[in-house]
Structure 1
Amino acid sequence: MNQEYIIPNAWSIIEKGWRPEFVKSSESLFSIGNGAMGQRANFEETYTGDTFQGSYVAGVYYPDKTKVGWWKNGYPEYFAKVLNAPNFIGIDVFIDGEALDLATYDQVHHYKQELNMKEGWLERSFNIELTDDKEIAIKTRRFLSLDKDELGVINYSITAVKGDMRISFQPYIDAGITNEDSNWDDAFWEVEELTSKDHQAFIRSRTNKTNFYVCTYMQSELYKDGEHVQYADPFDQNDTVIRHKVATQLEEGETATLLKYAGYTSSLNHEHFELMDAAKAAISHAVNKGYQQLLQDQIDAWADIWAMADITIEGDLKAQQGIRFNIFQLNQTYLGKDARLNIGPKGFTGEKYGGSTYWDTEAYCIPFYMATKDQHVARNLLTYRYEQLDKAIENAEKLGFSNGAALYPMVTMNGEESHNEWEITFEEIHRNGAMVFAIYNYVRYTGDYDYIPEMGLEVMIAIARFWHQRSTYSSRVDKYMILGVTGPNEYENNVNNNWYTNYIAKWCIEQCVEHIKKVKSGHEDDYHRVIGLTSLTDGEISSWLEVAHNMYMPYDKELGIYLQQDGFLDKELIPVSELKAVHRPINQKWSWDRILRSCYIKQADVLQGFYFFEDHFSKEQLEKHFDFYEPLTVHESSLSPCVHSIQAAKLDRMDQAYEFYLRTSRLDLDDYNKEVEEGCHITSMAGTWMSIVEGFGGFKIVNDMPSFETRLPKQWKSFSFKINFRDQILTVNVSDSATTVQLQGYQSQDIILNGKKLTLEPLAVNA
C-alpha cells in the first residue's frame, strides 16, 4: 500500500490531520529551497517526536573519510557529504511557562500543512486544547527568498482562542548540528564566533578540511494584533547556540506574531571576514522591505518561473499536482545562476547519496533546463563539467589510465570521485557517455556549436581516450570488448559487454572524430589550441576508430534482440508479474547475491540506449526490445518509470505510458519506494517533465527543427507545455480535438507537427 495521505490539489501539497507517523515523510515532501540554500520542513518549535533535522547550503560539503572493509587501489579517499548546516528556523514557544511540543499533546485539532507551489511558501496551522478553559491556534508561514537568496522569512503567530495566557517566544540559531550519515562521527563544523546585539544574532562557522565559512544570522520582531511591540533584548548563548527571549501577555482573542528574518551568508560568495557584514546587509534589506513586500516579491518571482515552466493538465488532478510538484522541486534545487553548482539527487531534502552531481544531470536534467529557462543555464551545467576535466583525468589516472584519458566521477562535489562502492566507482563507467550525450543534446537543441570548440571538444577527446584504453581486443571473435562493468541496471555487477556501455562508447568515439573534423575546418584557431593542449595525432585517432568500428555488440539472432550483457540469457527469465508481493521491493527483501543472479532489472538499460539514440532504431526494434526487457524490470530506481513512459507512448501503448507517468510524477508524493522520509528524488523529477514533453508531446529535434508527435492519455481532457527553442517560445496545446502550436518570438520557425512540416509566424496558431 502506497503512503497516500497528500490531498490532491492543482497548486499545493496539502496534508490534513495530525499524524505523527507521517512527520518525517512530510519533512521531505514539504521541503523548501531557493537554489542557494534549502531545508526540510522541520517544525520551528520544539518537537521531541521522530524527526530528521535538515538545512543545507548549496556548494558546502565535507569530505568524510571512506569507510570500507578493506582498501582497494583507486578507491576514493572520501565520500562527499552534503552538510547539514546550522539551524536558523528554531523558535521555541512557551505557553504560561509550558513548552509547546506537538509530541506531548493529545488534543491537536485542525492540523493542516500546505506547500503552496504557485507562490513558493510553506504554512502550518493547528489548534491545541491546553486545558478545559484554554485553547490556542498556531499559524506559521515561511519561505526562502528567490529575490534575495541568502534570506529566509518566518511568520509565526499564536492566537488565544480561549482564555488569557502569557506567550514566550525564544528564537534561536544553532550551529551544534550533525549529519545522520557521518561515517566516523567526525565534527564537520567548527564554531568560530558568536555575536548577539540589538535583536540580531550571528554565528560564524567553518567546515573542517574544506574550510567553507558560513555565517548563520537572525533578527526578530514582535507584533500584537498587527501592532509592532518594542521589547528588551535578553538572550542566552553557549558554545553553539544563541537564543533570544521575547514575551507578551495575550487576552482571549488576541494574536501575537513573531517575525523572524534569518539565513546564511557563505564564503562561496563573500570573503570569510565579510560574512557578518553581508548578513547585516541581508537583515537590513529584509527590514526595509518588510514581510508583506518580501512575500509579494516571492510570489512575483515564482510567477515568472511558472510563466515558462508550467505544464497544465485538464481532467486529472493527481497528475496535475504531480507534474507541478516535480517542476517546483527542480526550481527550488537549481536555478542556473551559478556554474559552480549542480543538481544533487536529493537536492535540499535530505542527505542520502551525498555529492551534488551524478550522471542524472546530463542524462535527465539538462533537457528540462534548456527548455524551461534558456541555453545559458544548460551551458552553465556543461561548463561545470568542463571546469572539472582535470579532476576527471586524475580520476582515470588513479585507475591506471594515461595520456589524458578522463573518467568522470559517479558522485562528486568538486570533480573528484567520491563514491565508494566498488561496483559503482570502478565499473559503472557508462556515466562517461552521458557527458558526451549532454554536449550533443545541447548543441542540437540550442544551435550553439561554439561550445564544441570552446570547451566540448577537449572533454570528448579525453573521454574517447578512456574508451579506447578501456576496450579489450578479443582474438576469439576479432572484436573489441568492454569487460567487467556495471551498466545502468545496477542489479548486475562485473558483467562483460553491457550492450548500452559498448554502444555509447562506440558512439562517443565517432562523435569525437566527427567534431574534430568540423572544428578543424570551421574553427581553425580553436583546433590548433586543442591539438596543442592534447597532443592528439592522426595515428591516435585511427586507433580509436579501429575500436569503434569493431566494437562487439552482444546480440541474439533467434530472439532478434541486443543482449543486456553476454550472460543475460543464461538467467532464469521469470517476469516481474510472477513475483509475489512479499518479495517486493527486491532491494529490501532479497540478499544482494540473489538479486545479482536474477534476471530483474532496476531501471532502463538496453532501453536507455534506445531512449538516447531513438533515431538509430526502428519502431519495430523498439517494440521488440521493450516487450522483452520491460516485463523483467522492477522499476526500483527513480530514473526508471520516465524512460519507460516515453517509450510506451512512442509505441502507442497509452495505458502503460500513463501508468508509468503517474508513477514517476507521484513517486515521492505516494512514496512508491517506501523511502521518502530520507528525501525526495530530485534529479528523476526532470524525467517526469520528459514523460509529458517527450512522451505524450513527442518532442524531439528532427533536421534542426522542433518536432512534435502528440498523444493524449484517455484520462486527460487536454495538456499544454512550453518550449524555449533558441530564444523563441513554442506553446503546445493537445486536446482530443486538435493540437495547436503557438509561437512567441521575433522570426518564423519551421516545425514538424504530427508528421506535417509547418512554418509558424510569431503569435500564429497552427492546427
Structure 2
Amino acid sequence: MKRLFEIDPWKLVTHQLIPTEKRLQESLTAIGNGYMGMRGNFEEGYSGDHHLGTYFAGVWYPDKTRVGWWKNGYPDYFGKVINGVNFAGVAIRLNDLPVDLAQVPYDDFYLELDMQTGILQRNYTVELGGARVRFTFERFLSIVKKELGAIKITAEVLTGAAVITMTSKLDSDVTNEDSNYEEHFWEEIAAGQVSGFDYLTVRTIPNNFGIERFTITAAMQHNAKGSFTQEALKVSETFTWQLAAGESCELVKTVLVVTSRDVPESKQVAKIKELYQAYGTDYEALKTEQIAAWGQRWELADVEIAGDAEAQQGIRFNLFQLFATYYGEDSRLNIGPKGFTGEKYGGATYWDTEAYVIPMYLSVAQPAVTKKLLEYRLNQLPGAYLNAQRQGLKGALYPMVTFTGVECHNEWEITFEELHRNGAIIHAIYNYTTYTGDESYRLGDGLAVIVEIARFWADRVHYSKAKDCYMLHGVTGPNEYENNVNNNWYTNYMARWILNYAHESVTLAEGNPLAVTPEELATWQEIAAKMYLPEDEERGIFVQHDTFLDKELLPTTALDPSERPLNQHWSWDKILRSCFIKQADVLQAMYFFPENFTKAEKERNFDFYEPMTVHESSLSPCVHAIIAAELGRGEKAVEMYKRTARLDLDNYNNDTEDGLHITSMSGSWLAIVRGFAGMRTVGGLHFAPFCPADWSGYRFRVNYRGRLLDVQVRSDLLTLTLKAGAALAVTVFDQEIDLQDTVTLML
C-alpha cells in the first residue's frame, strides 16, 4: 500500500512533492470531462521522471501487431489510444531561469484536486535570481462546454525584483509510452493566429489498415497580448512582466479543442471561432458554471459515509473519476479501463462497462446514460459479425478490445478464447430491462444483439456423444490466470442463460422480426437443456473448469508476500500452472444472478474459491464484497470494499502510476449499494441492509423507474425517503412496504 494524499472527504490534498512518485501523483490528479482529459501534469513542465499525457475521446491509432508466426483469424491491428496535443503547457522563467521543480529548490508546496468541483489547484514558492515568488495554478475541463478547458496562473512577488516570463503552448510534438515504441503519431496541417486566438491543426499519420485519420484543432486565447511563435507541431505565445515586491501578474488561458469526429478538418478553425464567441473567456463565470454542474451530478449520485473518512474519500474519488470519463453524452463512446489517465489497455472498450459500470449508472444517472452504452454495442453489431466470421462461426462475437466493434487485441488466449464477454453484453440488456421495467429495447433494437449472440453460442458449442451434453472447449474464463481450458463453468453457464433468454425474447417479440425459425428455437432449447456444467458433488461446488481440481490447491496465505502481485514476479508459465485465481470466475455468475443460487451454494463456492483468489484484477474485490455481504460475512465484505474503494488511492496493485482503474471504480459503489445495502432489482426493488461495524452509517440515492430514493442506513435503522416520483412498493428483507414519503424500519 502506498498513500500520497491526505484523508479529506471531498479532496485529494498533499503538501509534498515526491519525485519518485510523480507518475502516481499524475494519475491520481487526472481530470476529464468525457470529451477529453489529461493526467495531472504540471503546466510549467517537469524535467524529472514523469508521464505527460493528454487524450481525446474516440481518437486512436491502429498499432502494428504482426510479429512472429501469424495465425488465421488474428485481428489486423492492435488499436491504441494516442497521446494528443498538450494544451496545458505554460513554460515559466523567473529572472531568466527556468521554473522546474525537478531542478530548483521550492517550499510551501500544495496540490489539491477538488472532487466536488473538478478543479485542480497547486501552489509553491521559489527563489531565483534574487526574487522570491509564489506561483498559483488552477485548471479545469468544463463539463458544461465539452470542448473547453481553462487555466489560471498567478505569480506574486514576495521579495526582490522579478522578471517573469510565461510561454503558453499548444504542443503536438508528443509520443506514447505504451504504443509503438515512442513513435510520433501526428503531422501538422496548419497553425497560426486568427480572430484573437492561436491555433494548431494536426492529423494522425497514415496507417496501413484503412482506418480513418483523425484531425484535431486546438486553440488558445489569453487575457493579455503576447509574442507569437510558430515551430513544427507547436505554437506558443510569450508574456513578460517586470514586477517589484508586493506586485503580481495573472495569465488566464482558455483552450478549445475540436476533432474530426464532430467537425470536418476544413471547418475546424471556423468552429473554434464560433465556440469562442458562444462560450466566452470569462474565467470566473466559466468556473462558477463548472461548480454548479458538478453540484447537480453529486445531488443525484453522492454517497455519504459516517465514521470512516478513508472510505468516504474513496467512494467519492471513484465516482468523480467515472463521471469525468463518461456521462452518456455520446453513443459512439464507451469507458476505457484507464479513461483519460493513461495509455495502458489501449484506451479501448472492454467487457468491464457492461459487467460493472452499467449497474451503477442505472442508479446514479438518468436512464438515457445507460441507453447510450447499449446503443454503442448495437451500432457495432456489424463488427461483431466480422469477428465471428473470422473464426468460422455464425452470429456475433463482440470484441474483447475495440474502438469500432472489430476486434483489435492480439493475444489469442484473451481475444478469441475469453468468450464470456459476449454474455456481459446481453446481461447489460437484461439489467437495463429489469431495472427500468422498460421492455422496449430488449424486444426492439436490442433483439438483434440478443439473437445474434445466441446464434454464436449455438455454433460455438459441440456435442459430446459420450456424455450426451454440449460443451465449450478452448476457452478462457474471467480468471485470466488460466488459458485455453475446457468447460469453464462460468462461460458454459452464461451460454446456457443467453440461449434461454434469447428464446424467451424472440417468443415475446411481436411478429418475430428477425425471422428466427422454429427449428432454431428448438436447437437453442436443446443446447441449454443439455449444457455441461462441471460440478464436484463431494465438495458441493461448481468446478471452475474440467481440470481445475487436478491442481495443487493452496490458499493465498501460502504465498510469500514478497512475490505478490504474482503478475509482477512470476513467469506466465508458473501462473498458468498454479491454482491462484486473478478475479471472480465461478462467483461472477453469483454476482450477475444472485436470485439463481441458494445461500448454501453461494457459501460453499465462496469458501472454496475466495481463499485461492489473489484479487490482482481491479474487477475482483467488488464481486467478493457483494457476495460476502449477502452471506453475512461483514468483516470480509468491508475488507473487499476497502480494496476496491482505495485501489488507486493506496496503489494496492502497485500499478496506478500507469493510470487509474476507471471501469473498476464502480465496484466501490456496487459494494455499498448491492453489497452492504443488499439492493436487488429483479422482481421489484429489494433491500437487505447492514451497517459495517466501523461505520456509524451511510447514505446514498438511487434513480429507479422514475423515482428518486434516498436510502440511509445506521446500525439499527433503515430510513427510506421518496424524494421524487409516485409511490413505490419496496421489499426490505421479507417485508413489503408502500413507500409514499419516508419510512423508518428497525434493523
Fold shared by both chains (TM-score > 0.5): yes
Q: Is 2:684 aligned against 1:710?
A: no
Kindly state the Cα deviation for residue 664 of structure 1 after the two structures are TM-superposed: 0.3
The AA in structure 1 aligned to 2:514 is: V
- Whole-Å separation in 2 of the counterparts to 1:135 and 1:564: 65
Q: Which moved more, 1:487-496 or 1:746-755?
A: 746-755
Q: Is the 8 A contact 2:717 2:744 kept in 1?
A: no
One of 377, 390, 393 as aligned partner of 1:401: 393
- Whole-Å separation in 1 of the counterparts to 2:265 and 2:2: 44
Q: Is the 8 A contact 2:152 2:251 kept in 1?
A: yes
Corresponding residue number in structure 2 for 1:736: 715
Corresponding residue number in structure 1 for 2:485: 495
- Whole-Å separation in 2 of the counterparts to 1:702 and 1:357: 27
Corresponding residue number in structure 2 for 1:41: 40
Q: Is 2:301 aligned against 1:309?
A: yes
- Whole-Å separation in 1 of the counterparts to 2:479 and 2:319: 26
Q: Which moved more, 1:205-214 or 1:37-46?
A: 205-214
- Whole-Å separation in 2 of the counterparts to 1:283 and 1:655: 54
The AA in structure 2 aligned to 1:295 is: K
> Taking structure 2 as the reference length, what is the TM-score of the superposition?
0.97
- Whole-Å separation in 2 of the counterparts to 1:135 and 1:613: 63
Question: Once the two structures are superposed, what CA deviation does each residue of 1:641-699 show, in whole Å capped at 9, x if it has no partner?
Answer: 01001111111111111111011010000001111110000000011110000001100
What secondary structure does 1:590 align onto? coil
> Taking structure 1 as the reference length, what is the TM-score of the superposition?
0.95
- Whole-Å separation in 1 of the counterparts to 2:478 and 2:321: 24
Corresponding residue number in structure 1 for 2:502: 512
Q: Is the 8 A contact 1:151 1:282 kept in 2?
A: no
Kindly state the Cα deviation for residue 287 of structure 1 after the two structures are TM-superposed: 3.5
Q: Is the 8 A contact 2:719 2:743 kept in 1?
A: no
Kindly state the Cα deviation for residue 614 of structure 1 after the two structures are TM-superposed: 1.1
Kindly state the Cα deviation for residue 286 of structure 1 after the two structures are TM-superposed: 4.5
Q: Which moved more, 1:430-439 or 1:57-66?
A: 57-66
- Whole-Å separation in 1 of the counterparts to 2:17 and 2:181: 36
The AA in structure 1 aligned to 2:200 is: I
Matches within 5 A, 1:105-504: 105=104, 107-130=105-128, 133-183=130-180, 186-197=183-194, 200-208=197-205, 209=207, 210-222=212-224, 231=225, 233-287=226-280, 290-402=282-394, 405-504=395-494
What secondary structure does 1:170 align onto? strand
- Whole-Å separation in 1 of the counterparts to 2:181 and 2:21: 29
Kindly state the Cα deviation for residue 357 of structure 1 after the two structures are TM-superposed: 1.0
Question: Once the two structures are superposed, what CA deviation does each residue of 1:311-334 show, in whole Å capped at 9, x if it has no partner?
Answer: 000110000000000000000000
Kindly state the Cα deviation for residue 764 of structure 1 after the two structures are TM-superposed: 6.1
What secondary structure does 1:741 align onto? strand
Question: Once the two structures are superposed, what CA deviation does each residue of 1:13-51 show, in whole Å capped at 9, x if it has no partner?
Answer: 112212111211011000000011100011100211111
- Whole-Å separation in 1 of the counterparts to 2:246 and 2:273: 36
The AA in structure 1 aligned to 2:120 is: L
Q: Is 2:738 aligned against 1:748?
A: no
Question: Once the two structures are superposed, what CA deviation does each residue of 1:560-608 show, in whole Å capped at 9, x if it has no partner?
Answer: 1110001011100110011111221111111111100000000000000
Q: Is the 8 A contact 2:197 2:220 kept in 1?
A: yes
Give the aligned CA root-mean-square deviation in angstroms: 1.4
Question: Once the two structures are superposed, what CA deviation does each residue of 1:686-717 show, in whole Å capped at 9, x if it has no partner?
Answer: 111100000011000142x2101001001111
Q: Is 2:672 aligned against 1:674?
A: no
Corresponding residue number in structure 1 for 2:555: 575
Q: Is the 8 A contact 1:261 1:283 kept in 2?
A: no
- Whole-Å separation in 1 of the counterparts to 2:188 and 2:391: 38
The AA in structure 2 aligned to 1:338 is: D
Kindly state the Cα deviation for residue 76 of structure 1 after the two structures are TM-superposed: 0.8
Q: Is the 8 A contact 1:746 1:762 kept in 2?
A: no
The AA in structure 2 aligned to 1:657 is: A
Kindly state the Cα deviation for residue 285 of structure 1 after the two structures are TM-superposed: 3.9
Gaps (5+ residues) in structure 2?
none
Question: Once the two structures are superposed, what CA deviation does each residue of 1:156-180 show, in whole Å capped at 9, x if it has no partner?
Answer: 1111111111111110101111211
Q: Is 2:743 aligned against 1:759?
A: no
Corresponding residue number in structure 1 for 2:26: 27
Aligned length: 741
Question: Once the two structures are superposed, what CA deviation does each residue of 1:78-97 show, in whole Å capped at 9, x if it has no partner?
Answer: 11111211110010111111
Question: Once the two structures are superposed, what CA deviation does each residue of 1:396-433 show, in whole Å capped at 9, x if it has no partner?
Answer: 0001113xx11000000010101111110110000000
One of 514, 517, 534 as aligned partner of 1:530: 514
The AA in structure 1 aligned to 2:222 is: S
Gaps (5+ residues) in structure 1?
223-230
Q: Is the 8 A contact 2:338 2:347 kept in 1?
A: no
Corresponding residue number in structure 1 for 2:58: 59
- Whole-Å separation in 1 of the counterparts to 2:711 and 2:71: 52
Q: Is the 8 A contact 2:430 2:442 kept in 1?
A: no
Question: Once the two structures are superposed, what CA deviation does each residue of 1:258-286 show, in whole Å capped at 9, x if it has no partner?
Answer: 10001311122223222112212333345
Q: Is the 8 A contact 1:28 1:676 kept in 2?
A: yes
What secondary structure does 1:93 align onto? strand
Kindly state the Cα deviation for residue 355 of structure 1 after the two structures are TM-superposed: 4.0
Corresponding residue number in structure 2 for 1:545: 525
Kindly state the Cα deviation for residue 744 of structure 1 after the two structures are TM-superposed: 2.1
**CA pair 481-744 structure 1, distance change in 2 beyond 3 A:** same
Name the % identity.
46
Q: Is the 8 A contact 2:195 2:273 kept in 1?
A: no
Q: Is the 8 A contact 2:11 2:113 kept in 1?
A: yes
Q: Is the 8 A contact 2:62 2:79 kept in 1?
A: yes
Q: Is the 8 A contact 2:700 2:712 kept in 1?
A: yes
The AA in structure 1 aligned to 2:236 is: R
The AA in structure 2 aligned to 1:188 is: F
What secondary structure does 1:318 align onto? helix
Q: Is the 8 A contact 1:642 1:688 kept in 2?
A: yes
Q: Which moved more, 1:454-463 or 1:637-646?
A: 454-463
Question: Once the two structures are superposed, what CA deviation does each residue of 1:203-251 show, in whole Å capped at 9, x if it has no partner?
Answer: 11122342222111111124xxxxxxxx4x4222112111111101111
**CA pair 702-485 structure 1, distance change in 2 beyond 3 A:** closer
Kindly state the Cα deviation for residue 70 of structure 1 after the two structures are TM-superposed: 1.9
- Whole-Å separation in 2 of the counterparts to 1:184 and 1:139: 35
- Whole-Å separation in 1 of the counterparts to 2:285 and 2:478: 48
What secondary structure does 2:463 align onto? strand
The AA in structure 2 aligned to 1:146 is: I
- Whole-Å separation in 2 of the counterparts to 1:496 and 1:183: 35
What secondary structure does 1:104 align onto? coil
The AA in structure 1 aligned to 2:8 is: N
- Whole-Å separation in 1 of the counterparts to 2:538 and 2:742: 53
- Whole-Å separation in 2 of the counterparts to 1:591 and 1:146: 44
Kindly state the Cα deviation for residue 539 of structure 1 after the two structures are TM-superposed: 0.9
